[in-house]
Structure 1
């Protein structure tokens, strides 16, 4: 019988837990929205590197348009909205030709169409290769999904295409050989379930960036790999460090071979292994407005306009890896080692993936900017509250301080008389405020009323005092 009324028992939560939960929810909202207050349409800001985007299925059921945070709140309040998290290089569509006669309330003068916007089935509320909604009404439990940094679609773990076999990819002329590809059998996570990887690339998009196989294997997150991934990554640790500083002095050597856990396969792979020496990487061009100097050697990873000798030491236009599509998990700061030479930059542009070189494109940077905006907002709020209090007159300040003191006294009185073996309920909280209201009414009812005599010259004198009733 004890369990009959379990569902009727109020959930117990401490004040600290409640405040922490509120703060966590506000922080999560700021991280998703990038610190956007949702007050102005972002259309005037053009194609933003990254922003929170929403799809309104009420206005555009075909899922061919996206709106910014402000428009989702002001123009599409009460509509069927799909939250898409963030999209790159996107401009708000609200009120353009895709919305028919609907006009944006915040910024009505928009172009007919935003030609550079890209759309996928997410805008219809569908995700993954299974083309299912999230949350899925037919699923027994909602499975966590992860986002590909290239197509920006979301995938269920069971549909990532994780494998346990060890395969390679074929590299075109002049290197006719297989290059080892990581074989991820599970998502790399730590003991607490937090991701060890920085970015994920789905198996479809991995064919577009097969050139990544030319880099040391430490570019991949080893946590989700099977086989001899740890030993292989340890072997290439020094190589990765050389890649990061290749625009200075140093020799870059990359092993392009297929590593396998068995000795037999290792021997075969080593026979096909070819070492590519880049020698001393030197700058063959200059960035605009800068002259060469002692600190220019570390600029190649920061300035994509610098033309340097390819850190791979090969011609990527000739040596074009061909790989089978596989899900890829990239290690921390993997973008920093990508080559910025002229030919590699041309390759990125041709593949339309030059955003990989932009640190501001990453979700981590997007969230860092959101945290910074949040800190600034909290500081402004604190300053505004203090400024408001300082502008009050003496009587108003006393009233506020007395109100705080009354609440403190009433709350302490409640705790002193309360049975600690019981739980504070919502009715108890309501009772505290009712007692405060009664006390306030009594104070006003019996407050002294002064009878003043005001003279013509503006002076006054007190004639008497009575108690209000």
Structure 2
């Protein structure tokens, strides 16, 4: 039998396995991958607070660390919303809830609505002129808040649990604040829009899990996407029976905002608007509980829905016929002008809103198509109420900070949004020629010396420890105390080479 020789360990106790080490190239590649991931998750520059721009429609975040929600729903709560940049630069290590876009809002960071322990690091003092540490500024009094800022969403008031909830939520277009009877651009579960239970398997919903309102910024974002006021997440459960398909509408106005603006009920089922989506909850006593699939049979349910739709259409046609007859009677006069009045004009067409169905008493939400704005009546009676809601007249812009530049050589990137390599190269490109040449020469000198220092380690296969690096740079600086300390640490007891794994080397 062949004799098996003993395998002895290497002389140096500082050697490490290949699995625990990486080359410089691997390290740089890993850092570049992390930077790319960070830029994808946070694509915008975050070095400027939006408060100086005034009230905007912008992406907002609620900081639950600075403004923790009350334990009881009825307790008073001082809410606050911060802009995208402040959520990163001033509240980066706090618990945040992303609210997505809300209109007519001014950043509350560094104001009387946020604690002095968390100042705004991006704005400058109005008197001192120094940047950062801004606290106690007057908050905008006309900012509007709802329970979203306390981490609750929808008419059900659910909190977001990323481990349990999934599905699709829809943001109301918003026709009023909570104080005005609206919802304040709340996010809604489809079942709650219709007043249905989200925990009932009787044909109302196919899952007992909950749809996510809005994700915390600490949650991974690759599985969710927001488009036109709709929040999507993978594995969305089917929409409840009677809820319109997502491709059929562009915006939604919840029943609360419709109640606050009942005039919009006239438009349901007309050009640019879908038929009403009724609310079947307790707050709608005139609407009886509908027969839905899974309760008394699909055939009976479908017949009931069709009959209800036909009845509604008949009512509308009858109303329009009566109105047309009335209009005809009122305007059934000779179209010719009497002798001696050659400039007389024919009777004007009636305003569009007078041809619409009467305002229904039922409670429902209104779903709008992409071109809905083109079909509002703009007569002298209707335009004033549209003017109070300018987003019904024209599509509104949402403010977005400048995108962080990815080209490392342009020097235009945001402070705090680029890598150290990018910032170094940008600073070098902005230097005057003489200083830039001196910097490059110093860098090359350091590189050559560092290569000479590392070569013996590469030849022997010995790993470079943190103390070796400290000693090397202490020698470059001529730091005798640093050299003595490094020698003491290296000569000290302990197993191996006494190397400690540290970041930053």
TM-score of the superposition, structure 1-length normalised? 0.48
- Higher normalized contact order (CA 8 Å, seq sep 6+, divided by chain length): 2
Structure with bigger helix share is: 1
Q: Which has the larger radius of gyration?
A: 2
